[in-house]
Amino acid sequence: MNPSLAQVLERSDIRRGDAFAVAPAPTFATGFARLDAELPGGGWPRGALTELLAEHEGIGELGLLLPALAALTAAGQPVVLIAPPHGAHAPAWAAAGIRLDCLRLVFPNRPRDALWAAVEALRCGGVAATLLWLDALFRAQLPANSLRRLQVAAGEGGGGAFFFRPSRLAAAASPAPLRLQLQAQGGSLRVTILKRRGPPARQAILLDVARPAGFLQSVPHAVAGAALPDTTGSRRRSRVAA
């Protein structure tokens, strides 16, 4: 008897177009159930480059990673930030549940050093997640083979690798197996999966990433913190603005 179609389809080297790969790569949970459901393996990939193409800075692009980073650091796993765009504000990171003693920030001055540091951090088996911001240092002239180098290094290290890039590069070719485009939409983060190992994603997901407390969408103007009496002028101004 011929092997049935079902038996053939069970082979690990056959992937059907409408399903994720049979044996997905190791992952860790994103902390957003709706996003986990859309990602192969149900979470952020380990040992593979993830590109996060944010439309702007300050739309909650880091908020997307915070739950996963908090879980990693809570387990004592180190997280390394390479060439972050600004200085990190410790109280905010601590408030997001991240263990600060597991966090390391690297500020290279030269683009070449930044790429080297990124590759070293990705290759290091001890780093659970590496966050990269390289395009600003390279003035958007990232050498053509560097993405490939980063992807290979991530594969060697086996940790999470998150590369924050400007969204105008969405159309550019990339060896990263997972590419997400991030846009702001009314206080939420709109995540479009540009590329994943599996069938193309049909629609974008809206995620409620961490936004400043005290703000509710129904009440656009919420006063946080105690103001001293002589700030009435500025309070009135803010109400006008809102």
CA proximity to 151, closest of 179, 171, 190: 179
Residue 18 found at the interface with another protein (CB under 8 A): no
Contact status: 92 vs another protein (CB under 8 A): yes
Residues between 163 and 192 that touch another protein (CB under 8 A): 184-187
Residue from 222, 226, 224, 185 nearest 207 by CA? 185
Closest to another protein by CB, 26 vs 220, is: 220
| 97 binding another protein? (CB under 8 A) | no
Stretch that binds another protein, among 10-18, 22-30, 105-113, 140-148 (CB under 8 A): 105-113
> Of 12-20, 35-43, 195-203, 215-223, which part binds another protein (CB under 8 A)?
215-223
Give the x-and-dash track for 128-167 against another protein (CB under 8 A). Answer: x---------------------------------------
Q: Measured from the CB atom, is 20 or 116 closer to another protein?
A: 116
Nearest Cα residue to 159 out of 76, 72, 100, 39? 72
208: which residues sit within 8 A by CB, 6+ positions away? 187, 188, 189
**Amino acid residing at 176:** A
The answer to whether 119 and 149 are in contact (CB under 8 A) is yes
Is the CB of 155 or the CB of 187 nearer to another protein?
187
Contact between 200 and another protein (CB under 8 A)? no
Q: Which of 106, 121, 175, 110 is nearest to 153 (CA)?
A: 121
Instruction: Figure out which of the listed residues 28, 32, 93, 162 binds another protein, where binding follows CB under 8 A.
Output: 93
**Nearest CA-CA partner of 82 in 50, 105, 61:** 105
107 binds another protein per the rule CB under 8 A = yes
Q: Are 165 and 179 in contact (CB under 8 A)?
A: no
Q: Figure out which of the listed residues 11, 16, 34, 104 binds another protein, where binding follows CB under 8 A.
A: 104
Taking CB under 8 A as the criterion, the residue among 103, 129, 150, 178 binding another protein is: 103
| Stretch 43-72: interaction string toward another protein, x if CB under 8 A | ------------xxxxxxxxx---------
Residue 183: Cβ within 10 Å count: 18
**Pick 86 or 202: Cβ nearer another protein:** 86
Residue 74 touching another protein (CB under 8 A) = no
d(CA 225, CA 29): 34
Q: How many residues are present in the chain? A: 242
